[in-house]
Amino acid sequence: MSATVDHRALYRLPWNLADNAITWLEPTTKCNLYCEGCYRENDPAGHKPLDVVKEELETVKRLRTSDGISIAGGEPLIYPHIVELVRYISEQGWKPILNTNGQALTPELVTKLLDAGLVAFTFHVDSHQNRPGWPDKTERELNELRLRLASTVAEYGKGRIACSFNATIYPDTLDQVPMLTDWAQEHINIVNTMVFILFRSVRPKSRFDGFVCGEKVDVEELVYQLDTKEVPRDILAQEAVDQIRRSYPEFQPSGYLNGTEDPTAFKWLIGVRMGNSRRMFGSWDAKMMERVQTVHHRWFGTYIAYARPVLMRRARALLPVSLIDKSVARGFWNLLRSPRDWFAPLRLQALTIIQPCDVLPDGRQSMCDGCPDILPYKGRLVWSCRVDELEKFGAFVTFGVKEEQPVEVAPAEVALAEVALGSDDAAQAVEAVSGSNGKGKATVAKTPMV
């Protein structure tokens, strides 16, 4: 394990419910793929009228200052009014960002979206998608698809549309994070950000019951879970950091969002590195991230998450900042010591880790405090990753620890224990677990599995 990341040494991003870098928008819940890690149910009739989507944007205007609008779903590229929607968002002064699986991407569509004012694509590609033409492909094999998508954006977006990739990380793909980190560096000229989303399942741990307004509900009706009946181990952000450092030992996050119930949890963890496809020269520290957020908010009135690609390509413009920032100075010093890279392009690339909702031992749910992926929903702002709960149950699910359920141990079972352990040992074992009830039976607390 690499050095533990201490949240007190990082910059706590100032994003909050009313003033944030991003806001989520879902013009459709219809999708052309089935992704095992998706939290939204695919609705074939899920396209919203454009006027309804514009009304949702009015909710955003009323309740939240935002730099960008992440258009998601569902699959936004199959939304029939997507070009018009992107143009409308751009005209309102927001940065339009498309969160897509890329299945419907074409050169012609990229050109139209560029003309409409699109600022960024974020493609979700991972090995737990049932993607036509890519059956049972590994994360490494899917790099061919990632490169195809990034190259299409670079060519037909004329270098003016940023390109990012999301990958949901499962227990069986955690060891692929170093390879994906290397791949992102290899293509730093056309890939601006790599995001690792740590899978969470709503399938309850056996010691919890789900409730809505005091009534017990079956959370297995929700889609955010694996297809198998297993309860997957929750991966923590520190584990993803450890994996990134296998590829890039100098990786140092600079900004974070904590949990609503756990201040030490890294719900969003962001690092920005400087280098080229051959070598990285350093990462921003907390002070540099603070300077960027503060300056952007002062100049433009918003915090920033998506930078335009022209800025990511011009890392050399940060040279004057090295006079006041140690991490930037360190990066340029490392560049100075590498003469072969003096005239090579110098770029910035972000690595982001997202750790979704955690259910704490007492049933409390720790969400992203200052979550960027907040969604306008019926006139209010809600967590996009939990809107399916509102659709199915009318309110958010809360968890409660199950009461211990006594299990009667019949006298015959006690007799068998006496044979195996001896009467004294058997009595002590039964009493230690539950105590005798004095009626010829023992009650044993059923211990839930975690």
The reported pLDDT for the residue numbered 225 is: 56
Residue 1 belongs to a domain: no
Q: Are residues 187 and 143 in the same domain?
A: yes
Instruction: Of 123-132, 325-334, 337-346, 427-436, give the lowest mean pLDDT range.
Output: 427-436
Residue 188 belongs to a domain: yes
Q: Are residues 84 and 209 in the same domain?
A: yes
pLDDT of 167 > 90? The answer is: yes
CATH number at residue 50: 3.20.20.70
Chain segment 67-114, per-residue pLDDT in tens: 999 999 899 999 999 999 999 999 999 999 999 999 999 999 999 999
Between 292 and 131, where is the model more confident? Answer: 292
The reported pLDDT for the residue numbered 41 is: 76
Q: Are 95 and 68 in contact (CB under 8 A)?
A: yes
Q: Are residues 235 and 213 in the same domain?
A: yes
Residue 450 belongs to a domain: no
The reported pLDDT for the residue numbered 127 is: 95
Chain segment 169-187, per-residue pLDDT in tens: 999 999 999 999 999 999 9
Q: Are residues 310 and 410 in the same domain?
A: no
Q: Which residues contact 190 (CB under 8 A, 6 or more apart)?
A: 150, 151, 153, 154, 163
Chain segment 186-245, per-residue pLDDT in tens: 999 999 999 999 998 765 556 788 999 999 998 877 766 555 556 678 899 999 999 999
The reported pLDDT for the residue numbered 43 is: 78
pLDDT of 332 > 60? The answer is: yes
Residue 421 belongs to a domain: yes
Name the residue among 367, 339, 286, 309 with its Cα closest to residue 158: 309
Q: Are residues 208 and 344 in the same domain?
A: yes
The reported pLDDT for the residue numbered 431 is: 46
Q: Are 101 and 125 in contact (CB under 8 A)?
A: yes
Q: Are residues 100 and 248 in the same domain?
A: yes
Alpha-carbon distance of 163 to 350, in angstroms, equals 11
Percent of the chain at pLDDT exceeding 70: 86
The reported pLDDT for the residue numbered 92 is: 98
The reported pLDDT for the residue numbered 34 is: 80
Residue 2 belongs to a domain: no
Alpha-carbon distance of 189 to 314, in angstroms, equals 11
Quote the number of domains for the chain: 2
Q: Are residues 92 and 185 in the same domain?
A: yes
Q: Which of 400, 420, 436 is the last residue of a domain?
A: 400
Report in angstroms the alpha-carbon separations of 106 from 93, 113, 124.
26, 11, 16
Q: Are residues 415 and 389 in the same domain?
A: no
Q: Are 252 and 271 in contact (CB under 8 A)?
A: yes
For all residues of the chain together, what is the average pLDDT?
Answer: 88
Q: Are residues 298 and 427 in the same domain?
A: no
Domain with 437, as residue range(s), is 406-445
Q: Which residues contact 351 (CB under 8 A, 6 or more apart)?
A: 181, 184, 193, 194, 196, 244, 251, 270, 271, 272, 273
Chain segment 356-405, per-residue pLDDT in tens: 999 898 989 999 999 999 999 999 999 998 998 898 999 999 988 887 65
Chain segment 242-297, per-residue pLDDT in tens: 999 999 999 999 999 999 999 999 999 999 999 999 999 999 999 999 999 999 99
pLDDT of 421 > 80? The answer is: no
The reported pLDDT for the residue numbered 412 is: 45
Token representation of residue 158? 């004329």
Confidence of residue 130 (pLDDT cuts 50, 70, 90): confident
pLDDT of 1 > 90? The answer is: no
The reported pLDDT for the residue numbered 403 is: 73
Q: Are residues 345 and 426 in the same domain?
A: no
Q: Are residues 53 and 148 in the same domain?
A: yes
Q: Are residues 275 and 419 in the same domain?
A: no
pLDDT of 448 > 50? The answer is: no
The reported pLDDT for the residue numbered 424 is: 53
Confidence of residue 437 (pLDDT cuts 50, 70, 90): very low
pTM of the model: 0.87
The reported pLDDT for the residue numbered 33 is: 84
